[in-house]
Structure 1
Amino acid sequence: MLNVSPLSAFNDNYIWLISNGRQAAVVDPGDAAPVRTALAERGLELTAILITHHHRDHTGGIAPLLADWPQAQVFAPAAEPLPVPGARSLADGEPLVLPGIGLELAVLAVPGHTLGHLAYHGQDMLFCGDTMFSGGCGRLFEGTPVQMHQSLARLAALPGHTRVYCAHEYTQANLAFCHAVEPDNPELKKYMQKVAKLRQQGIPSLPTSIDQEKAVNVFLRAHLAGVRARAQLQAMMELNEDHEVFAALRRWKDDF
């Protein structure tokens, strides 16, 4: 059995630690310190480092970790600058088995937040970096609204029970925006209460699930008439395509 646990970094990042009790992999280690601490406390050997995209808060800890665990293999997007020499570059559709822990993952290209952003799916788990958040999605630093809309649709098509391991604790702020868009969504209201209780206790709101996000995340709900109507009202223009609704929602959220 694999265990997946969050390691807090910076103000709101999560580095995901995947272990089998002996070996471990980490996803998006922006900071080496919490990884070193967790590995030492749990007696784990680092065998793999998995990267979703090139931003520093997801890659900054790689070199220090390799100094301590030089045998660890680094896996990163082929369409972005490799974070360290010798990293194995990955492209859409490639099979991947994380060394040591044996986790089989499918590599999914999900451009939008960055052009080469990847997500990794396997064994009912999705590591999606900054593409999807609970109740939200990443800002469009490099990609287009069409790209991000398509990437989110690709993730939303995964099995509903898939656990979604996002890279940031943005949930409460995201849900506040979702509530502004869909104030009468009963599933959203229930989820907001659940998340509020978790955060009051200092417990991460993540992982979420694909089904949960389809029920509350307005960026996955641009096809719904009510969401379209609210987006049109905010944008003060007619929106004819779902990706146009998505784009209007993203602009709204940027200034929310």
Structure 2
Amino acid sequence: MLNIKSIPAFRDNYIWLIQNRDQHCVVVDPGDAGVVIDYLTSNHLTLDAILITHHHPDHTGGISELVRHFPHIHVVGPANEAIGGITHAVSGGDQIEIFDHIFHILDLKGHTLGHIGYLGESEVFCGDTLFSAGCGRLFEGTAEEMWQSLQKLRSLPEDTKVYCAHEYTSSNIAFALAVEPENPALQAYRDTVNRLRAHHQPTLPTTIGLEKQINPFLRPDQAEIIKSVSDRSTDLDPLSVFTILREWKNEF
């Protein structure tokens, strides 16, 4: 069984650490090597590999220092992005093995053009594609590409745990309530998140099932959401509604 922990970094990043029973581990998107090294030292862990979802510095900035400390580790990352230090380039459809567990590589373009995710048996590390109650900005890809990536994630089993890379939940909920204020699941989730954050607890991981209930970017076919964007466009198919929501969130 894999044990997954979060290592906070910067203002709101999470570096995810996957540990087996033999004190070996893998880290996902280590933007800051220092916090990782401190955690490994304190917990007597050996780093075997790094997994990267996309090229942004807050996800890759710690690679070189970690490789200096652990020179024999594997660094897995997207084949379609230029990231220094990658030893194993992967694309959608590939798979890797982590401590006898198979992880499938998902193409999740939208936030960046080469963004990937890592899907295990009951967990997905999705970088900056899907957040709890939100989704990533479109820095390189199109709205259609991001929508297709979110559809891949939405189609996963509802009990799949979603390990996002940022603690954006509170601000995302504020937007989601502006879009769908009468959603009772979203109202209840707001209260849960407020309690967690009041005690400085993470809101992640979330699950696909929960996100399908509360995340407006996965719910563009819902009547209240369609009504909320109807004054912005006459095109109200799911992709068009998603596109409007993403543009609205940029301004929120």
Match of 2:250 among 211, 235, 254: 254
Cα separation, 2, equivalents of 1:54 and 1:102: 27
Partner AA of 1:225 in structure 2: A
How many residues are treated as equivalent by the alignment?
251
Q: What is the match of residue 131 of structure 2?
A: 133
Q: What is the match of residue 153 of structure 1?
A: 151
Give the 4+ runs in structure 1 shifted more than 6 A.
none
Partner AA of 1:106 in structure 2: H
Residue 83 of structure 1: how far off its partner (Å)? 2.7
Match of 1:216 among 214, 217, 236: 214
The reply to whether residue 196 of structure 1 matches residue 194 of structure 2 is: yes
Alignment of 1:159-178 (within 5 A): 159-178=157-176
Cα separation, 1, equivalents of 2:47 and 2:185: 39
Q: Is the 8 A contact 1:228 1:239 kept in 2?
A: no
Unaligned runs of 5+ in 1: none
Q: Is the 8 A contact 1:24 1:44 kept in 2?
A: yes
Residue 102 of structure 1: how far off its partner (Å)? 2.9
Cα separation, 1, equivalents of 2:76 and 2:101: 13
- Give deviations 1:99-152, integer Å, cap 9, x for gaps: xx3331000001100000001111201100000000000000000000001110
Cα separation, 2, equivalents of 1:206 and 1:129: 12
Cα separation, 2, equivalents of 1:239 and 1:94: 37
Q: What is the match of residue 112 of structure 2?
A: 114
Residue 242 of structure 1: how far off its partner (Å)? 1.0
Q: Is the 8 A contact 2:230 2:236 kept in 1?
A: no
Residue 74 of structure 1: how far off its partner (Å)? 0.3
Q: What is the match of residue 183 of structure 1?
A: 181
Q: What is the match of residue 92 of structure 1?
A: 92
Q: What is the match of residue 19 of structure 2?
A: 19
Q: What is the match of residue 5 of structure 1?
A: 5
Q: Is the 8 A contact 1:76 1:83 kept in 2?
A: no
Residue 239 of structure 1: how far off its partner (Å)? 1.9
Unaligned runs of 5+ in 2: none
Cα separation, 1, equivalents of 2:10 and 2:230: 36
Cα separation, 2, equivalents of 1:116 and 1:83: 14
Cα RMSD over matched residues? 0.9
Normalised by the size of structure 2, how large is the TM-score?
Answer: 0.98
SS at match of 2:230: helix
Partner AA of 2:15 in structure 1: I
Q: What is the match of residue 67 of structure 1?
A: 68
The reply to whether residue 231 of structure 1 matches residue 229 of structure 2 is: yes
